[in-house]
Amino acid sequence: MSSNNYPKYSICIIIFLIISGFFSCKKFLDVTPPYVGTLDYAFRNRNEAENYLFTCYSALQSLGPADDPGFLTSGEIMYPAELGGLATRFQLISGNVQNLSNPLLNYWDFWSGSNGGGNLFMAIRRCNIMLENMDKPIDLSVSEKARWTAEVKFLKAYYIYYIARLYGPIPLYKTNFPIDASSETLQVRREPVDSVFNYVTQLLDESIVDLPEKINNPADELGRITKLIALCVKAEVLATAASPLFNGNPDYSDFKDLDGTQLFSTAFDPDKWVKASNACKEALDEAARQDKKLYEFIPNATITYLSDSLKLLLSLQNAVTEKWDINPELIWALNPVFPYQGYCLPRLYKENSGSENSKSAPGSFSVPISTTDLFYTNHGVPINEDKTWDYAGRLKLRTSDSAHAFYIRPNYPIPAMNFNREPRYYASIGFDGGYWFGDGVTDQNAMLSVQAQGEGSIAGPMDVVRTNITAIWPKKLVHYLSSYIKSSQYSEVQYRLPRIRLAGMYLLYAECLNEAGGPSSTVYDYIDRVRNRAGLKGVVQSWKDYSKNPSAPGSKEGLRKIIHHERENELCFEAQMGWDLRRWKEMPERLSSPLSGWNIRQNTPENFYKQVIQMVPVFTTRDYLWPISDAAMLTNKRNVQNPLW
């Protein structure tokens, strides 16, 4: 090599080095470091897995009243249509808002405008993911693993049950499809209703074995599923499956899959009621072991004196709003809290009107008169059956007397229909002229009362939002200590809305027994437990003494009607009736008359107490089951639409 060539080679070397740089850096493109979070990290240890367990619970806790057809479609509460959103969902029973292109409360497709529907199919997938990975957390104890598995199975069962109540037959995702499954395999058919309910029962049975009897650490875990909850849900599932909507419903005799599979059983099966009543019995036995009993109000220290009638009233009101941990009646409530107390509370202070706003306490959940008519007379029979109660004269104005000293303010003319009603009426309904124990005043001699006659009145209409369109409030859904005074903040005593409470279980048991075997002393006993707590005499005696139809409790059909009515009164506003009326197939009957309220802008009693129709509900057979959206029909060729949609 001559020295003259040396620089040339050097240049070649430089260039070679630079060029080789491009070929030698394969790792240049590996930019993702290890430990980039993937789903595997969710199951690395107990701590992470617990987070995923909560993920499974998440959908349950978002099933609030605003998404609950049981709350929105019962006709118990109305909400002005023009406010949109939530109000639109309250319009479901008007018969003209449900549609196929973008269904309301669409629980089937979660992505495309769910309109209030929850992500339950997604929740089912999450439960499956949790079940698939339950073995992975290295520090999860055997007992905790068993408990968590049971909880997730319960949740999966409950989600399936929730969707099935809406849609009837649904696809069952017992295990998850891999995400790269062909589109052909992802197009899953709907399973017949009976298979769906059987699968739900099977999952519940599997979960009941390992669920805890008691929550040992209520400070952190209250709200987690217990054995008792699962037993009660199982009873409810079986009762639903036995009910006329799902048990041999002739309306669906032609409802078939594309390959001809019958999606609803065609014949009524009485044995389903037997199974349901057995499940109720099993649940109630467990409840007894857990010392569950009907709630009775115990005054707190700040209340110096309380009359018996107010105490009874608070027992009934507070059975719903009492804190879960000290309410022996409460079996299962929805975490975290009921968010609409401000919507249920009438304005009780003059000072409220200036500074409250649409968000804190609009008081706009409006109870139609038909709902108030459901409550019995003080004799424990329906108002149109009570021989002693002037049904025809119920709109005549009168003033309070000593018998109603704790319920109705004196010298304030209101319709006679507010007098001589059962205590549950006064505990559940906030009406013009009625006393409102609480809201900052717990002295029974200084009780506030609702004054709602006309625009100038304290509780009267303020503007579009702060208006109760019937001038009747669902008092039961407000904790008596929740208050809104002057311009200070709305101080809410929060509570969880019960999903299952003992009184409901008693009535469910009674219903199932009556359906399975007709009237019996056990049936009467369980109804009467609920009635006695409400200050009413037993069903047989009440009907015998006061009803125009004294023999009704003696027949299966008569008693069925009584049990249904009892449930409507006892569980009023609690997001149960919308479901019950559907499974009983009583929706059209219940919604047969217009929903009306008082003439809210009038300020004399004579003009105010004129019934004004706010909505004429329309409910047809097709409305029993939810429509499946056009989009869902198109993406799955094995889908069949629900009947009549």
Q: Which residues in the 21-50 window bind another protein by CB under 8 A?
A: 21-23, 25, 28-33, 36-39, 41-42, 48, 50
Going 157 to 577 to 449 to 296, the CA torsion angle's sign is negative
Which residue lies nearer to another protein by CB, 205 or 325?
325
Q: For the chain, how long is the longest CA-to-CA vector?
A: 130
Going 41 to 44 to 50 to 56, the CA torsion angle's sign is positive
Q: How far is the CB of 320 from another protein (least distance, A)?
A: 17
Contacts of another protein in 70-89 (CB under 8 A): 81, 84
Q: How far is the CB of 202 from another protein (least distance, A)?
A: 20
Q: How far is the CB of 385 from another protein (least distance, A)?
A: 40
* 197 binds another protein, rule: CB under 8 A: no
Contact between residue 92 and residue 72 where contact means Cβ atoms under 8 Å apart: yes
Q: How many CB atoms lie within 10 A of CB 406?
A: 21
Which residue lies nearer to another protein by CB, 212 or 248?
212
| Three-state SS at 547 | strand
Which residue lies nearer to another protein by CB, 126 or 567?
126
Q: What span, in angstroms and rounded, lies between the C-alpha atoms of 615 and 595?
A: 5
Question: Residue 77 half-sphere exposure, CB side, CA atoms within 13 Å?
Answer: 35
- Window of 335-343, 368-376, 467-475, 594-602 that interacts with another protein by CB under 8 A: 335-343
Q: How far is the CB of 550 from another protein (least distance, A)?
A: 47
Which residue of 259, 291, 308, 463 would you call a contact of another protein, by CB under 8 A?
463
Which residue lies nearer to another protein by CB, 88 or 451?
88
Which residue lies nearer to another protein by CB, 97 or 274?
97
Q: Give the x-and-dash track for 294-333 against another protein (CB under 8 A).
A: -----------------------------xxx--------
**What string of H, E and C letters represents the secondary structure of 150-177?**
HHHHHHHHHHHHHHHHHHCCECCCCCCC
Q: How many CB atoms lie within 10 A of CB 57?
A: 20
Contacts of another protein in 86-115 (CB under 8 A): 97, 99-101, 108-112
- Window of 57-65, 401-409, 438-446, 542-550 that interacts with another protein by CB under 8 A: 57-65
Q: What is the DSSP letter of 144?
A: H
Q: What is the DSSP letter of 643?
A: T
Residue with tokens 């319960």: 154
Q: Give the x-and-dash track for 549-578 against another protein (CB under 8 A).
A: ------------------------------
Which residue lies nearer to another protein by CB, 44 or 548?
44
Contacts of another protein in 590-619 (CB under 8 A): none
Which residue lies nearer to another protein by CB, 458 or 462?
462
Q: How far is the CB of 189 from another protein (least distance, A)?
A: 11
Q: How far is the CB of 638 from another protein (least distance, A)?
A: 9
Please name the residue ranges forming H helices in 322-389.
341-344, 352-355, 369-373
- Window of 53-61, 286-294, 397-405, 469-477 that interacts with another protein by CB under 8 A: 53-61
Q: What span, in angstroms and rounded, lies between the C-alpha atoms of 459 and 349?
A: 8
Q: Which residues contact 381 (CB under 8 A, 6 or more apart)?
A: 542, 543, 546, 547
Q: Give the x-and-dash track for 160-189 against another protein (CB under 8 A).
A: ----------xx-x--xx-xx--x--xxx-
Give the distance from CA 375 to its chain's centroid: 21
Contacts of another protein in 119-138 (CB under 8 A): 119, 121-126
Q: What span, in angstroms and rounded, lies between the C-alpha atoms of 381 and 379?
A: 6
Q: How far is the CB of 20 from another protein (least distance, A)?
A: 9
Which residue lies nearer to another protein by CB, 51 or 520?
51
Q: How far is the CB of 630 from another protein (least distance, A)?
A: 7
Bridge partners of residue 483, in order along the sequence: 491
Dihedral angle over CA of 483, 485, 487, 489, nearest 10: -20
Q: How far is the CB of 11 from another protein (least distance, A)?
A: 5
Which residue of 250, 270, 336, 554 would you call a contact of another protein, by CB under 8 A?
336
Contact between residue 345 and residue 450 where contact means Cβ atoms under 8 Å apart: no
Contact between residue 172 and residue 191 where contact means Cβ atoms under 8 Å apart: yes
Give the distance from CA 360 to its chain's centroid: 22
Q: What span, in angstroms and rounded, lies between the C-alpha atoms of 498 and 574?
A: 7
Contacts of another protein in 624-643 (CB under 8 A): 630-632, 634-637, 639
Which residue lies nearer to another protein by CB, 99 or 555?
99
Q: Give the x-and-dash track for 278-297 against another protein (CB under 8 A).
A: --------------------
Which residue lies nearer to another protein by CB, 100 or 131?
100
Contacts of another protein in 485-524 (CB under 8 A): none
Q: What span, in angstroms and rounded, lies between the C-alpha atoms of 381 and 431?
A: 21
Residue with tokens 């080789």: 20
Which residue lies nearer to another protein by CB, 57 or 407?
57
Contacts of another protein in 217-246 (CB under 8 A): 218-224
Q: How far is the CB of 170 from another protein (least distance, A)?
A: 7
Q: Which residues contact 292 (CB under 8 A, 6 or more apart)?
A: 228, 328, 329, 331, 502
Q: Give the x-and-dash track for 343-362 against another protein (CB under 8 A).
A: -----------xx-------
Interhelix angle 556-570/539-546, nearest 10 degrees: 100
Which residue lies nearer to another protein by CB, 128 or 265?
128
Q: What span, in angstroms and rounded, lies between the C-alpha atoms of 106 and 118?
A: 8
Q: Which residues contact 525 (CB under 8 A, 6 or more apart)?
A: none
Q: How far is the CB of 399 from another protein (least distance, A)?
A: 34
Contact between residue 374 and residue 569 where contact means Cβ atoms under 8 Å apart: yes
Q: How far is the CB of 81 from another protein (least distance, A)?
A: 7
Q: How far is the CB of 629 from another protein (least distance, A)?
A: 9
Among residues 380, 570, 356, the alpha carbon closest in space to that of 484 is found at: 356
Which residue lies nearer to another protein by CB, 364 or 547?
364
Contact between residue 438 and residue 430 where contact means Cβ atoms under 8 Å apart: no
Contact between residue 294 and residue 503 where contact means Cβ atoms under 8 Å apart: yes
Q: What is the DSSP letter of 613?
A: E
Q: How far is the CB of 98 from another protein (least distance, A)?
A: 11
Q: How far is the CB of 439 from another protein (least distance, A)?
A: 22
How many chain residues interact with another protein (CB under 8 A)?
93
Q: How far is the CB of 271 from another protein (least distance, A)?
A: 31
